[in-house]
Amino acid sequence: MSTTISSKRGIDKPEYRYLSSALAATVAGNCVSNDQRNASWADPHIWYLQALTSLNKYNPRTDAWDTTPSFTTLGGAIGAGTIAVFCASQGPSGLVGGSPATTSFTLAALPNAGSVNINRLANNGNNIGYRIRVYNNSASQSGKCEERTIVSNTAGTNPVVTVDSPFSFTPAVGDKYELLSGAVYMLTTGTVASGFWKRYDIATDTCSANLSVTNLIGTTSTDSCAAMLDEQYVPYDRKPGDGMLSGGATYNGAINKAIQATAVDSTHITGSGMPSALASNEYVNFQIRIVEDATTPTAAGQRRKITANGSGSSAQFTISSAWTVTPSTSAKFVVENNNDLILVTSASTVTYSYAAGGYAADANWSTASVAGGGTQYANPPAAPGAGCVLAPSYGIEVDAAHISRHSHIAWFKGSASNVVYRLDIAGGANGVWSAALTAPTGMTLTTGTSGVYDPVGNNGRYFYINQNGTVRNFRFNIQHMAWEPWADVRYTPGTAVAGGRLAIWYFWDGATVLPFLFISGQVTAYCFECPIWPN
C-alpha cells in the first residue's frame, strides 16, 4: 500500500531539518547535482564535487556520505565558475556479446577501459539494480527496444548481466545495449586547459580521459550556470523513455508510449496519434529516437535532431542529417530532449553547448558561431554575472495556448539584478532569446545564489532558488513566470561563495512521490533538507 500524503497548505509548513554534515566544509565552487528522472529506479544520490580529488555522494535514504574511491584528479581549481551536472542517459553502452539468453547476456568490453566488481550493477545505492536498455537491432531480429533491471553481474571488463524478467526476444550478438546508470560532468575554474572538463561514470566508478575543451571559453572565474537537456528527462506525468509528446503507440512491452510512423524518407518521418494542438516547429532542436522497427530492425536505436516539424496529430518531422538506415512505416519513435548541456559562464556573452549524452558524447563544444557536438544556440542578450542560474521547463505540461513550452529555459543573469531572460531552443535553428523581463519582486541575485529544478513535483512547474547564500529562498513558477517566497533556512549562514548548493531528491513509495529540497551551507559542512508538499 502506497504512502498517502494528505498535507494541507498553511498547516503543514515546509520546514528544514539538519542532515549529516558533509565530509568537508564548503568552499567557493563546490557543486551538488542529482538525477532528475521521474522514476523510482533513478540514481538516489546527491553528488557533491568537493575538491579536485574528491567527488563525494550523499544517500538521502540513509543520511550518510561516502567518497568515490576511483575518482581521478581534475585540472584547474575548484572556485567561482565550477559546475557539476548529472547526465542520466550517459552510462556505458556497446554491443551484446557471448551467448545471450532472454534473461542474461555478456556486455562487450566496457568503454573507457571500465571494469566492475561482482554484482556492482545490481545495486545503484538504493537496493535496486541499474536499468539496461537493449535494441534487438541486429539483422533479421525483432527491431524491438526493451528495458530491464539488472539483478546480478559477473566481474570484469566483459561482465555477464542477469535481468529481473525475460526480454520478449532473445538478445543477439551485435545488438546495442545502453546502461542507463548516469554520469556526472564537471568543469573546473581557471584558464581552461586539458583536464578541466571530465565525466565520472557512476556504474564503473571511473573518470573519463580529458574531454575536449575546444571552442570553450578561455577562462572561467566569475560564475557559471548550466542546464542538462537529457533525453531521460520528461514531463511530470510521463516515464523516462516516453518523450515529450503523447502518441497512440507503445513499446517496451507497452510500458512506454511512442508515436507510430506513417511515412518516412531519408530526412523525414511522419507520425500519427499526436496531440492535435501540436504547433509548427514546437520541437525544433529536440530529437527523434527510433524505438522499434519490426520491418527494418537495423533502423532501431537511431537518434536525430529535429530541424522542423509540422502541426497537428499527423505532423511530419525534418531531421538534421539523413538516416544511416531509413526506418520503415512500421517504425515507432519518440520526441525527446536532445542531450545538450547548455552553459553560460564567466562574464562572456556566449552560449556554450555540449552533446553530453545519447549519440554524440565527447564531441567539441559549440557556440553560436562555431560548430561542435552540441547545438549552436544564439548568444544571450547580456553578460552573466555572479548569481546567474538556468531553469529548464521539460517537466511541465504544455498549456492549451502553448504560451509555455518544453523548449523554454529561463535565465536569471545575476549581477545583483532581478532580470530574467528566456531562451526558446525551438525558436529557430539557433533558438531565440526573449527581451529582458524584470521580475515582479525586490529580490536580486548575486554571489552565493544557487538553484535547482524540480521536474517531478507540483506538475514540474517550480525552480528553487537560494538567494545570495543567505537564509532566504524563493521558487519560480516557470510555467506562469511568477515568483513565490519559499521557506527560510533557520541557521546563520557564513560568507557567501559561488557554487551550486541545491539539489532535489525523491521519496518513492509505489505511486506516491514526495520531493525534498537539499541545501548545503555556506563555508560550513552543515546540510539541510525540506519536504516540498504538493500545492
Single pTM value for the model: 0.96
Answer yes or no: are the C-beta atoms of 172 and 96 closer than 8 Å. Answer: yes
Give the domain CATH number at 32: 2.120.10.80
Does residue 241 sit within a domain? no
pLDDT at 7: 81
Cα torsion 23, 25, 30, 33: sign: positive
List, for residues 391-419, the tens digit of each pLDDT value.
999 999 999 899 999 999 999 999 999 88
Based on the fold, state whether residues 363 and 477 are members of the same structural domain.
yes
521 phi, psi to nearest 5 deg = -75, 175
CA 343/CA 398 separation, integer angstroms: 25
Residue 6 lies in a domain: no
Could you tell me if 101 and 141 lie in one domain? Answer: yes
293-329 per-position pLDDT tens digit: 999 999 999 999 999 999 999 999 999 999 999 999 9
Q: Based on the domain organization, do 41 and 100 belong to the same domain?
A: no
Is there a domain that residue 227 lies in? yes
- Domains held by the chain: number: 3
3 is a domain residue: no
Residue 273's closest CA among 285, 257, 286, 256? 257
State pLDDT tens for residues 106-158.
Answer: 998 787 767 899 999 999 998 999 999 999 999 999 999 999 999 999 999 99
Last residue of a domain, one of 336, 367, 392: 336
- pLDDT-based confidence at residue 358 (cuts at 50, 70, 90): low
Q: Residues 435, 423: contact at Cβ < 8 Å?
A: no
- Please give the residue range of the domain that contains residue 457: 17-90+181-235+339-531
Say if residue 148 is in the same domain as residue 271. no
29 vs 6: which has the higher pLDDT: 29
* Boundary residue ending a domain (303, 319, 336): 336
Q: Please name which of 505, 458, 464, 469 lies closest in space to residue 484, comparing C-alpha atoms.
A: 464
What is the tens place of the pLDDT at every residue in 185-217?
Answer: 999 999 999 999 999 999 999 888 899 999 999
Mean pLDDT of the chain: 93
Q: Residue 286: name the closest of 249, 266, 264, 315 by CA.
A: 315
Per-residue pLDDT tens for 248-264? 999 999 999 999 999 99
HEC string for 66-133: EECCCCCCCCCECCCCCEEEEECCCCCEEEEECCCCCCEEEECCCHHHCCECCCHHHCCCCCCCCEEE
Whether 491 and 414 share a structural domain? yes
Residue 51's pLDDT is 94
pLDDT at 440 over 70: no
- In 3-state terms, what secondary structure has residue 299? helix
Domain membership flag for residue 243: no
**For residue 333, what pLDDT is reported?**
98
Residue 504 and residue 482 share a domain: yes
Structural domain contains residue 240: no
How many whole angstroms separate alpha carbon 25 and alpha carbon 91?
Answer: 30
In a domain, 430, yes or no: yes
| Grid cell for residue 453 | 529544478
Shared domain check, 498 and 429: yes
On the CB side of 307, CA atoms within 13 Å amount to 9
Q: pLDDT at position 202, please?
A: 94
- In this structure, is residue 4 part of a structural domain? no
What 3-state DSSP class applies to 405?
A: coil
Q: What percent of the chain has pLDDT over 70?
A: 98
Is there a single domain that holds both residue 305 and residue 321? yes
**One domain, residues 385 and 502:** yes
Residues 258 and 397 in one domain: no
Confidence category of residue 510, pLDDT binned at 50, 70, 90: confident
CB 60 within 8 A of CB 505: yes
pLDDT of residue 361: 53
Do 331 and 349 belong to one domain? no
Whole-angstrom CA distances from 116 to 101, 177, 420 are: 21, 16, 45
Q: Looking at the predicted structure, is the pLDDT value of residue 519 above 60?
A: yes
